[in-house]
Amino acid sequence: MKFVGKNQPIHDAKNKASGSLRYAADVMLPDMAHICLIYSSIPHGYVKSVSVDKALAMDGVFGVFHCFNTSNRKYNRYRSQFSQELPEEECAFHRYVRFVGDRVAAVAARDLETARKAAAFVRIEYEELPYAVTFEEALEGKSVLPGEDPVRDEFTASLGERCGGQITVETEVEFPRLHHATMETHACIADYDPYQDRLTIYSPNQSVFGVRTMLADYLEMPYHHIRVVKAPMGGSFGGKQEWFTEPVAALIARELKRPVKLCFSRSEAMVSSYVRAPMKSRMTTCFDCDGTLQSLDLDVIADAGAYIGNTKDYMRTLYGKLFRCYRVPCAHYRARIISSNTPVSGAYRSWSAAEEAMMMEHNLNVAALRLGMDPIELRLKNALHPGDVDAKSGLPLEEIRIREAILRGRELFGWNDKKAADEQFNASSERWRRGIGVGCGGHGNTYFPRHNDFACARLAMNEDGSICASMTLHDHGCGTITAMQAIIAETLDIMPDLIELCEGDTNATPFDYGCYASRTTFVNGRAAQEAAKLLLQELYSAVELLWHVPKEDLYAKDGCVFSRADESFCHTYCEVSQRSLTELRKIIQATASFTETSNPGVTGAHFAHVEVDTYTGYVKILDYLAVHDIGQPINPVMCVAQIQGAVQMGCGAALREKLTIDAQGRPIDSLSKYHVFLAPDLPDIQVELIADGGSKEGPYGAKSIGEISFVPVAPAVCGAVNQALGSEIGQMPLDPDRILSYLSKERNEL
């Protein structure tokens, strides 16, 4: 292939490198108001009064908005489809506040400095209620009103008949809250035209049509009166899949009848956006003596935070992830959701697959010890095979390559050699301990079959033979536009830079669900491929009419149309397009919809080598290998970059990151206290791609990579640390405090 599978720089790389790319925060409109939000200073209670006179008296202040002068109509920030059945608990400004960081008011002024100064003069009086910041306090009912059940939802599911099993293994894993830590925080521009009753939203979101749906319902406006444009995005990791800046900005823009800008600081992004849900889990497995898994029971409790948001869907999705990597003949699952007076839980990269993998992989590591097996051998014993079926959905997993990933990784990583060398090192070292770990995981490529999934692409040929493509894309900064250009260019046999692609715009691009569920390349990419195929047929039809050459004899190469029957016949796309317009009076264009009917297995196996300083508890990663079953990489260099970034992010989740809440319900709100993993903390991350083109429905055989690349990281790293220490720690992160606490307890027990 010419373009698919070849390394390409992403479309806006030079703009980013030069600083010329305009993010939402860079946009300025005439007469724009700037918004400063005011947040609850208590974790639970009622707003009794809001005093705004001093703020309104300041020069340059346009208005102060709060629960007593705005609509109390409720919404769910997670809504992305009109058909979703979701609890609607939030409003723009709350009288009943549920966490420190809940929105209670906003000041709009001519500039942000004035808005902030005015906000300092707003006085809010509260009636405080009991509150809960821990699982235990929440289960006591302190986070809800009297008479309400602290367990907001419970979901159970079972599959298969319970069999025997001679070895029973029970493990517990706990997850803290995680912040997405994107370089760009949340931002939104809202512009309202009162004469036409038209609202325009400009924000870095993951679904322009999702934002439109939610705002139309919330503001009770017709869908066609709202335009949502996707702005360039400086990272998301799921953090821009839900809408909380957009409804506030839209409400104030409509009230003021002028454009407004709302941009989050880092502190606001940490406290008042959303986090990955904290969870506690207990997994009980039964194995035969040869290591064959017979049954699995998983009990999970998740903290949704102040509002339910997406947590019901999130925990139901976790159940399906149990069957994407290993053969699980019998499973019983229970998930409970509680609310606490803490930041809202929401979408996070992998949508529960990373949590499921950590639960499963930790259990397998402990089981391997009980069985006296090598951890890799136990995984190979239970890994899915090509041709297996997803036990929950019943869909074929097609050419799933998890076994090949494990075997190839074991060889490339030098598993057995490292294992022997570590035993010698640990025997001779008092202070440092070394260990190796393996982590495996599976994910999906589409909404299907949980939801019906489809995508649409429209292509039109310009007079010079270049292409204008209309697709609703949401590039997170990872090269989505470039990937689509490569797919279209490969099909049309023209250079990718001859294809113009814009991102989502509800007034200009066709309906699409958005960028989540790892669906973009797999579903949107296939729609692009199908549209390009149809465009070729339209091109051939035009040539047939213009030159009287049968379509069946025609083929395309290097931007020209040739005839198999006449070697001298050659006409450029430019020539065909121009004659079609002037003589046939017809645009060469095509529209294709692709409906998804499969969701093949997409997996990864990661290998980590670590060194633990038993004096400080610090963990150094010595070596790392990621092996991924990717089908066909569209742009290999960006696939590798995605994986390397995911490893850095996953190492932070494994070893450092936790968004803690103090006893008064106040979250940490600075990266000086929330310790992300930095690039210098890592060795060169080795990546091996299994590119067999085995996906039947993905474009050119491609499968997903953006989320699966994150799934195995924490299991591999935590497994390596536990092997180094001879421990079975299941509480994340394995930071220095936790490691030193374990070592201290171990010494005291000697």
Angle at 114 between CA 111 and CA 120, to 5 degrees: 140
% residues pLDDT > 70 (the chain): 100
As a whole number, mean pLDDT of residues 661-671 equals 97
Q: Where are the beta strands (DSSP E) in 558-651?
A: 560-563, 570-572, 589-595, 602-613, 619-629
Q: What is the pLDDT of residue 144?
A: 85
CA pair distance 161, 144, nearest whole angstrom: 39
DSSP 8-class letter at 343: P
- Worst-scoring range by mean pLDDT, 152-166, 523-537, 724-738? 152-166
pLDDT in tens, 104-128: 999 999 999 999 999 999 999 999 9
Q: What is the pLDDT of residue 464?
A: 98
164 has a pLDDT exceeding 80: no
Instruction: Quickly state the pLDDT bin for 746 (edges 50, 70, 90).
Output: confident
Q: Which amino acid appears at position 100 of this protein?
A: V
482 has a pLDDT exceeding 80: yes
pLDDT in tens, 565-579: 999 999 999 999 999
Instruction: Quickly state the pLDDT bin for 303 (edges 50, 70, 90).
Output: very high
Closest CA to 614 of 426, 460, 464, 479: 426
Q: Which residues pair with 442 in a beta bridge?
A: 603
Phi/psi-derived region of residue 11, left when phi > 0, alpha when psi is between -120 and 50, beta in every other case: alpha
Instruction: Quickly state the pLDDT bin for 27 (edges 50, 70, 90).
Output: very high
Strand pairing class (33-39; 260-263): parallel
Q: What is the pLDDT of residue 747?
A: 84
Q: What is the pLDDT of residue 82?
A: 87
Three-class HEC string of 131-186: CCCCHHHHHCCCCCCCCCCCEEEEEEEEECCCCCCCEEEEEEEEECCECCCCCCCC
% residues pLDDT > 90 (the chain): 96
Instruction: Quickly state the pLDDT bin for 750 (edges 50, 70, 90).
Output: low
Instruction: Quickly state the pLDDT bin for 168 (edges 50, 70, 90).
Output: very high
137 has a pLDDT exceeding 70: yes
Q: What is the pLDDT of residue 15?
A: 96
CA distances, 347 to each of 101, 353, 644 (Å):
18, 12, 21
pLDDT in tens, 356-409: 999 999 999 999 999 999 999 999 999 999 999 999 999 999 999 999 999 999
301 has a pLDDT exceeding 80: yes
Which residues make Cβ contacts (< 8 Å) with residue 110, sequence separation at least 6?
33, 34, 60, 62
Instruction: Quickly state the pLDDT bin for 300 (edges 50, 70, 90).
Output: very high
**Over the chain, what is the mean pLDDT?**
97
As a whole number, mean pLDDT of residues 307-314 equals 97
As a whole number, mean pLDDT of residues 595-622 equals 98
Structural domains in the chain plus CATH codes: 29-129+186-263 (3.90.1170.50), 279-445+599-749 (3.30.365.10), 454-595 (3.30.365.10)
Under 8 Å between Cβ of 409 and 627: yes
3 state DSSP class of 242: coil
Q: Which amino acid appears at position 344 of this protein?
A: V
